[in-house]
Structure 1
């Protein structure tokens, strides 16, 4: 197993929203469908069993009408702090671990997002395939969604 840092891609943001709202956005289906996926995609929840060992599966409909499936199993959940899950985004990405880390900073939320890959090579491939653009676009949607909810 290669060095964890070399197998991990990370995005960090500070959301201008309370931690409770950010947590709900990540954990409640009615919120998830509003922001999950890059711009232009609609998301529907097929399965969402938000407990350790519980499975999740989301279908993102692309502009051409085809579904792109994301799924995984929750590994660790610490309320208002941490979500760890396995994840597959077929056919582009399989066998990764997502880590969502939240920290309260006054009325804002510090957000750290890690995607851990099996190998350094796979990590580099994913980065070159547009990891930062795809997830960046998704988190822009989340930022806008949170701003709507706060105002």
Structure 2
């Protein structure tokens, strides 16, 4: 079910990925897969620590132009093979983050031909943070991630 979107604070896109939903889910929920798609190349994911359950951690470290970026968050909702919601507003143990950026909502559904309807939503706490994320290249960056995810998942298919 698609959540109500607020154009002032939410960014989103939907794309059909040519990979089965179970593989897209696996990629998002198993740490070994995250480095292969989660940040647009040539940037890298250098560390991943996931505990895929409500309140569990979603922690990553990115390397962007030689600088390391530590990203800590928690899962807010986990509906196997259908929906993942995670945020950097809290860290594990429900500790508030000093400078939260967004909440990510990923929706997966079967698409015709065995693919996946993939919706990515970035929900921000203010119109200014939404505008900043858009200016950073949300559509291009998250679009690149979706393309990388699709290619990587296709390589996992038996």
- Deviations along 1:57-112, one digit per CA (max 9) or x if unpaired, are 111122x4221222211000001110011137xxxx83311000000124111000
Q: Partners of 2:138 and 2:80 in 1: how far apart?
A: 27
Q: For residues 153 and 128 of structure 2, what CA distance do their matches in structure 1 show?
A: 35
CA distance in 2, matches of 1:20, 1:138: 18
* Alpha-carbon distance in structure 2 between the residues aligned to 1:115 and 1:68: 19
How far the C-alpha of 1:46 sits from its partner, in A, is 4.1
Please show how residues 104-123 of structure 1 align to structure 2 within 5 Å.
104-106=110-112, 107-123=114-130
Is the counterpart of residue 48 in structure 1 residue 50 in structure 2? yes
Secondary structure (helix, strand or coil) at the match of 1:83 reads strand
- Asked if residue 74 in structure 1 is aligned to residue 75 in structure 2, the reply is yes
1:138 aligns to what SS in structure 2?
Answer: helix
Specify the SS of the correspondent of 1:141.
Answer: helix
TM-score, length-normalised on structure 2? Answer: 0.82
The number of residues matched between the two structures is 144
Over aligned residues, Cα RMSD in angstroms? 1.9
Residue 145, structure 1, aligned to residue 143, structure 2: no
**Structure 1 residue 100 corresponds to structure 2 residue 102:** no
CA distance in structure 2 between the partners assigned to 1:135 and 1:68 by the alignment: 17
TM-score by length of 1: 0.86
Q: Which runs of 5+ in 1 are unaligned?
A: none
1:121, CA displacement in angstroms? 2.4
* 8 Å Cα contact 2:77/2:84 also seen in 1: yes
State the shift of 1:118 in Å.
Answer: 0.8
